[in-house]
Structure 1
Amino acid sequence: MTSAIRIRPRVDAVDSALGRVPIAQLDLGGIPRGAVLLLSAGGDFEADAAQHLNELATHGYEGIAADLDAIEGTDGQLVEVVGSLLGHLRRRDWEDEQVGIIGYGLGGHLALLSSARFGLGAAISVSPTTMTTGDDHLSAAMVALASRIRTPWLGMFGEDDPAVTATAGDELDTTLRDHAPVFTQLVRYPGVGADFHRPSSESIEIAASYDYWQRTVEWLNLRVQPRLTPLAIAWNERRSLS
């Protein structure tokens, strides 16, 4: 995932109920296709944010990446933080259906929770945490969440990720198919762990990383509603008058 031209994201912070959240922001001129909120915790935030935001920009998406590493609170409080970040995007006139959310680790957990709170265009969780109970089964909170999901959700896991055991993954798949009111999909990559999406020299991890990013872009392109151009708006207004 190497961009031909790299734009340095602007560093800023967003106020939330749990304090100021560091962000990296990449705004595009013209008529961007959509907007994306990236949620991450841990790792090299500055480098990861620049890479992902630039890769998304090549597909027409502007957005912000939020560093949740130092933000602590309950699930409900953290979802409110996501709401503050979405509010920051809305100040650039993005409607919820024109926004996708992508989360990694804790951010992946919050992307799933947010899919039940906000009616966004698309939600994607990569190696989400806090999915299981002590006996490796899917947590009751995740079971209860399934029937409330409002945003089409894609979950991607490494088969060897201890945060999402095979038992929990099967239970999540069944629960979503039986109860989710919107389309959801699970993808499990064999032979890799939670870091399958990061650069690696191992061929099996390279294949998983490539596939996960292709699926991510396709999920956004299929479900995030594009922003209308001025000509499209004028045409709609003419049709409504006639």
Structure 2
Amino acid sequence: MAGTYDDVAPLRQVEPTVEARDTEMAATATRTTVPITVVEPERVARGGIVVLHESREFSPQLIDLMRALSVEGWIVVAPHLFDRITDDETHQVFGDELFDDFDAGFDWLTRRGVFPDTIGVLGFDTAGTAAFLVATNRPIGAAVSVAAPGITEPLPDQDVALIEVAASLQAPWLGLFGADDPATPPEAVDRLRDATARANVASLTITYPGLTHRADRPDPDDDAANAIRIDSQTRIYDWFDSNLR
């Protein structure tokens, strides 16, 4: 159905290990679904996009971005990544559970008849790191990472740094970074640009001045920042348009 609504996506079920049964991981193993927010286009969908975003609450700006993507013809699915986290002081998501949530959104789309090669992933911050890694080992059509850290050193609960697996990219990847972001210093972004160039798929790494590269964070009082936001948003649209076919 067209419009914005909430749903749940079943998780792929994996039998927990003996160790998991004996630790707090057992609670994670018993999760069977993840809540999702869906935005469907008015017309027949041309594919789908799984949005990974590090927000406990979906801001109006994020919903606007999802709706804009749906206007382009995509079914947009955003798993609620913090649903499994009870600690209100936790503001980042890492590890296998994040990939489980992506897989749930991916499976939800394929059950709706969306072909895997017309499904993309868009991730912000550490979820952008996950979007990159998804593109190295999942059968998707395209990936976009915004402000993804963990370029030269692995993030917590992450086995590898991005430059270590960049040559293994299996889907076209677009990376958007801010030149003054301490989590993604320019020299690290340059190394990532060189590493992704060795992959067998298209890649494009863009660096914007300052921290004004976030397509989901408009600043109505800063014309220069808004120009960059529009440019980054347009690049996201064009990347999916060019590669999800």
TM-score, normalization by structure 1: 0.79
Corresponding position of 2:20: none
Corresponding position of 2:37: 24
Structure 1 residue 197: deviation in Å? 4.3
**Take 2:58 and 2:186, find their aligned partners in 1: how far apart are those partners?**
29
Of 43, 48, 58, the match for 2:71? 58
Corresponding position of 1:184: 203
Q: In 2 relative to 1, CA 192–204 (structure 1 residues): closer, same or farther, beyond 3 Å?
A: farther
CA contact (8 A) 1:159 1:193 kept: no
**Take 1:172 and 1:71, find their aligned partners in 2: how far apart are those partners?**
31
Corresponding position of 1:95: 115
CA offsets per residue over residues 40-86 of structure 1, 9 Å max, x none?
01264153442122101211112211222344676344323311220
Q: In 2 relative to 1, CA 27–144 (structure 1 residues): closer, same or farther, beyond 3 Å?
A: same
Corresponding position of 2:169: 149
Of 233, 236, 242, the match for 1:213? 233
Corresponding position of 1:35: 48
- Partner of 1:81: helix, strand, or coil? helix
**Take 1:195 and 1:213, find their aligned partners in 2: how far apart are those partners?**
8
Q: In 2 relative to 1, CA 155–210 (structure 1 residues): closer, same or farther, beyond 3 Å?
A: same
Q: Would you say how many aligned residue pairs link Structure 1 and Structure 2?
A: 214
Amino acid at match of 2:162: M
User: Is it true that 1:125 corresponds to 2:145 in the alignment?
Assistant: yes
Amino acid at match of 2:8: A
- Between 1:23-32 and 1:33-42, the stretch displaced more is 23-32
**Take 1:83 and 1:129, find their aligned partners in 2: how far apart are those partners?**
21
Cα RMSD (Å) of the superposition? Answer: 2.5
CA contact (8 A) 2:213 2:228 kept: no
CA offsets per residue over residues 70-128 of structure 1, 9 Å max, x none?
44676344323311220111110111111111111122111101001112111101111
Structure 2: stretches of 5+ with no match in the other structure:
14-27, 86-92
TM-score, normalization by structure 2: 0.78
**Take 2:111 and 2:199, find their aligned partners in 1: how far apart are those partners?**
30
Corresponding position of 1:229: none
Corresponding position of 1:112: 132
CA contact (8 A) 1:35 1:98 kept: yes
**Take 1:99 and 1:219, find their aligned partners in 2: how far apart are those partners?**
12
